[in-house]
A and B are shown apart, each in its own frame.
Chain A
C-alpha cells in the first residue's frame, strides 16, 4: 500500500491519468458473479461500480436488487448484453476503468464505518456531506484515516473511534475468500470512466456488512427460531432439525395457531424448550442452517403441525394424532 509499491501500467485506456498510476489488479476471482452472491467479489464489484457512479447504495457485500440494477445500467451504457451477470468482460472493463482500495474498503466494512462516496471526485472539489448518514466524516478525513490504517498494516483492529459494529461470528462469506489472497489496487487515480458518468453522484456512501435473509423473515426472526430449534432438537439428525423448524413455519401458516414466528414459539405450553428455558441456550450453526433450509421451503415433516418424542411425551392426547413420519427421536403428526 506504500506509494513506492505502485507500478506503472501502460494501457491505452489509462492514458488520461493525472495522478499516480494503478497497479493492474486481478482482484476479482474467476467466478461469474450473479444476483444473490455474497463475499469479497461482491464487495469489490459494489466498490468499483460506486467509484464510477453506477452504484449509490451501501457497500454491503451482498448482490441484491440494487446491485443487480446497477450492473444492468452499466451493461446497457457500455453496449454489453444486459443480463445482470458479472462475467469476465465486465470485470476486465471495471478493472481497467476503476480503482479498488481493497484494504480500505474492507477495514470500513469490518468497522461499519461511514465514509465519503467511494469515487472519482477529487478531494479538493468534493462537496460536503449531503445530509443523510450522520455526516461526520468528510472526504479528507476518511481518506487520511485510510492511509494511516494502510500503513499500520491493517490488523483489523477497530482503533478508529469507530461507529457501530465490529465483526462478530456471523461474517457471511467473509472468511471464505480472504485466503484467496487478492492483490491490492492502488487508490488516488483519476480514472477513465468511458466518458459516461451519471449525473447525480451522491457524496455520501457508507459501508456496512449485510447478510442474505429469506423473503419475509428478518435475521432476528431466524435467531429466535434457531434458539427454539436448538433447544428442542439439538442432538437430533440435521434433517430432524429442519423438520422441527418446518413445524414452526407450518403452524404460522395454520389458522389454528398464531401467525408470527415468535407467537408460535412462545405460545404457552407449545414447546417444552420454552417452558423449561432451554430456548435461551446459544444455538449452534447447524440449528441456524436448519432454520434457513426450512424457511427456504424444505419440509421433511411433510406439513406436520405437531411433533413429540414418544419416549418422553407427557400429554396423552398427542398420541391420537395421525402420524406422518419419524425422524430421529421425534414423531411428526398433524
Chain B
C-alpha cells in the first residue's frame, strides 16, 4: 500500500518536472528565435538597401537636370544612412565591417553635400562626377558580394546566434563561414575608401593630430618637469604626491597622465600633459562637492581669473550653466572683437569653495594661432538683411566658426527670437550665406513618472 502511494506521488512529481522543463525550454527557444530574428531582419534589410543604393546611384548618374538629380541624390543619402543604421544592429566585432561602414559614411556625406547645394550655380564638377561613378561601381561589387553571402546564409540555414555563441566562448569562427565572407567584402571596401577619399581633402584633422603638429617643435620635458608643471597649473604645493604615466602609442603625440593626490586624501586630480612643451590637455578633480556657497556669476569670474593667471588672456565667457553644485563655463578667445570658437576652453568650478574641478584646453592649444582674415566683407546691417524677416535680432557678434565642411569661416553670430524661441544663426560675413541655424535648447522640464 505504502509503496503504491510512493510510486504514485513520485510519478506525479516526475511528470510535473517534465512539464516544467518542457515549458522552460519552449520559452527559451522562443526568446532565442526572436533574438535571431532581429539579426536576420537587420542583415536582410542591409542587403536590400545595398541593392537600392546601387539603383539610385545608377539613376543619379543618368539623370540630367538639376531638380531630378536632387531627388535621386537625396535618395542615395537616405538609403546610405539606413544601411549604416542596420550595420549598427548587427553584432559588433562579429563581422568585420569597419571599412564597409566607412564606405557608407563617405557615400552619405558626398550625396548630402551635393544634394543640398544649388547646382544651377555650382554644377557637379568632373571630379565629383568621377567620384559618383566610383561609388556606383563599388556599390555594385559590395551588393554582389552581399547577395552571395545572403544566398549562402539562406541555403545553409545560417544562424547569427550560433556565431555569436562561438565568439563568446572564444572559439574563432572558422574559415569558410559567413564571417570570413564578410571579411573579404570588408577588405574590398577598404580598397575603395582608400582610393578616392584621402584625409586631407576637406576633412578636418582631429584635435589630437593638430595638437601633435603644434607641439612638434617644442622643448621635450622630463617626467619631473612635467609633474612640476602639472602641480603649478593646478595651484598645488610642490609637496603633494604625484605620479606620472606615459600615454600609449595610440596618441599622435607623446604625453603623460599625471595623478596627484592631495595630502588630506580626499581630493585627487588627474591631468594629461604633452611631453613637448608641457601643455595641459585636460584636468579633472574628483571629490564630493557640498552645498553651493557661491553664485554662478562669482564662479565665472573665478574661472576667468584662473585662465588669466595661466596666461590665457583676452577670453570671453560665451556659455555658463549650473549643474547642481558645479558651474560649467565655456570661454573663447577674442581677437579684434571676433570670437574664436574653434579655440574654446572649458572650465568647471565647484560652487562650494570656488575651486577648479575641470579644465579642457585641447582645442585652445591645438587651434589658437594668429588668424589673418578677421575683417568682414559685409557690414552688420547687410548681414541682418539676410535674416528671415520674422526673426528679431537680439545680440550680434563677429565670430570664427568651423563649418560643416570643417573649414574655418568668419561669420556674424546672431542671436534672434521668433515665437518665444531663441535661435543662433551664423551668417557668413563674406557671402551672407547661412552657415548654421540652430534653435537654442531651453531648460528641460522635469518629467516625473512617479505620479502617472
Binding site for B on A (CB under 8 A): 29-39, 41, 56-58, 60, 62, 64-66, 69, 72, 85, 112, 164-168, 170-173, 176, 179, 208-216, 218-220, 237-239, 242, 255-258, 263-264, 267-270, 289, 292-293, 296-300, 302-304, 314-318, 321-327, 332-334
Interface residues of B (CB under 8 A from A): 39, 84-85, 88-94, 98, 101-102, 104-106, 164, 167-168, 170, 206-208, 245, 247-251, 257, 268, 270, 272, 281-282, 284, 286, 291-292, 294-298, 300, 319-328, 330, 346, 348, 358, 360, 362, 394, 415, 417, 420, 422, 440-448, 450-451
Do A218 and B444 form a contact, CB below 8 Å, given A302-B272, A324-B248?
yes
In the complex, the answer to whether B250 meets A258 with C-beta atoms within 8 Å is no
Q: Quick check: B322 and A37 within 8 Å, CB to CB?
A: yes
| CB pairs A–B below 8 angstroms (12 shown) | A58-B445, A62-B443, A170-B446, A238-B286, A268-B39, A268-B94, A269-B94, A296-B321, A298-B348, A300-B270, A304-B250, A333-B250
Residues of chain A within 8 A of B292, CB atoms compared: 39, 173, 176
Q: What is the CA–CA distance of A239 and B84 in the complex, to the nearest angstrom?
A: 32
The residue on B at minimum CB distance from A212 is B321
Q: When the two chains form their complex, are residues B250 and A238 in contact, meaning their CB atoms are under 8 A apart?
A: no
Q: Kindly list chain B residues whose C-beta atoms are within 8 Å of the C-beta of A263.
A: 85, 88
In the complex, what residues of A have CB within 8 A of residue B91's CB?
A: 268-269
Give which listed residue, B170, B319, B330, B445, contacts A315 with CB less than 8 A.
Answer: B170
Question: What is the distance, in angstroms, from B249's C-beta to the closest C-beta of chain A?
Answer: 5
A101 to B249, CA, bound (A): 61
Partner of B322, one of A39, A165, A171: A39
Q: A267-B88, A297-B346, A297-B360 are in contact. Are A112 and B443 (CB under 8 A)?
A: no
In the complex, the answer to whether A326 meets B245 with C-beta atoms within 8 Å is yes
| Given A31-B296, A325-B247, residue A65 in contact with residue B440 (CB < 8 A) | yes
Please, which residues of chain A bring their CB within 8 A of the CB of B284?
238-239, 242, 293, 298, 300
| Contact (A69, B422) CB under 8 Å given A32-B298, A299-B360, A326-B245 | yes
Q: Do residues A322 and B249 form an inter-chain contact, with CB atoms below 8 A?
A: yes
Chain B contacts of A34 at CB under 8 A? 295-297, 300, 320
- The complex places the Cα of A58 from the Cα of B93 at a distance, in Å, of 48
CB distance from B192 to the nearest CB of A (A): 14
> B319 — which chain A residues lie within 8 A by C-beta?
36
Tell me how far the C-beta of A270 lies from the nearest C-beta in chain B, rounded to whole angstroms.
Answer: 5
CA distance A155 to B323 in the complex (A): 27
Q: Sorted from nearest, which 3 A-B pairs have the closest CB atoms?
A: A31-B295, A165-B448, A255-B105
Of B251, B327, B422, B440, most A-chain CB atoms within 10 Å: B251
What is the predominant secondary structure among interface residues of chain A facing chain B?
A: loop
Contact A325:B248 (CB < 8 A) given known A36-B322, A219-B447: yes
Tell me the dominant secondary structure on chain B's binding face.
mixed
Contact of B442 among A65, A267, A321 (CB under 8 A): A65
A72-B394 CB under 8 A given contacts A255-B102, A302-B251:
yes
Once the chains bind, are A35 and B444 in contact (CB under 8 Å)? no
Complex Cα distance, B325 from A249, in Å, reads 23
Pairwise interchain contact B164-A269, C-beta atoms closer than 8 A: yes
- Taking a contact as CB atoms closer than 8 A, the residue among A64, A170, A269, A318 that contacts B443 in the complex is A64
- The contact of A176 among B102, B245, B291, B443, by CB within 8 Å, is B291
17 new A-B pairs (CB below 8 Å) besides A210-B442, A210-B445? A34-B296, A66-B420, A69-B417, A165-B448, A215-B441, A238-B284, A238-B286, A289-B323, A296-B348, A298-B346, A304-B250, A315-B167, A316-B170, A322-B249, A324-B247, A326-B245, A332-B250
A255 to B100: give the CA distance in the assembly, Å: 10
- Once A297-B346, A323-B248 are accepted as A-B contacts, the answer to whether A164 and B448 lie under 8 Å apart by CB is yes
> A268 with B323: in contact, given A165-B448, A210-B444, A213-B441 (CB under 8 Å)?
no
Rounded to whole Å, the gap between the CB of A237 and the closest CB of chain B is 7
Return the contact of B297 from the options A31, A39, A258 (Cβ within 8 A).
A31
The 8 Å CB contact of B93, one of A62, A315, A325, is A315
- Max chain B Cβ within 10 angstroms of own Cβ: one of A34, A57, A66: A34
Given A237-B286, A238-B286, A293-B358: A302 and B296 interface contact (C-beta under 8 Å): no
Please state if A324 and B297 are interface contacts (CB–CB under 8 Å).
no
Instruction: Report the separation of the CA atoms of residues A66 and B245 in the bound assembly, to the nearest whole angstrom.
Output: 47
In the complex, what residue of chain A is closest to B208 when comparing beta carbons?
A303
In the complex, chain A residues whose CB is within 8 Å of the CB of B441: 213, 215-216
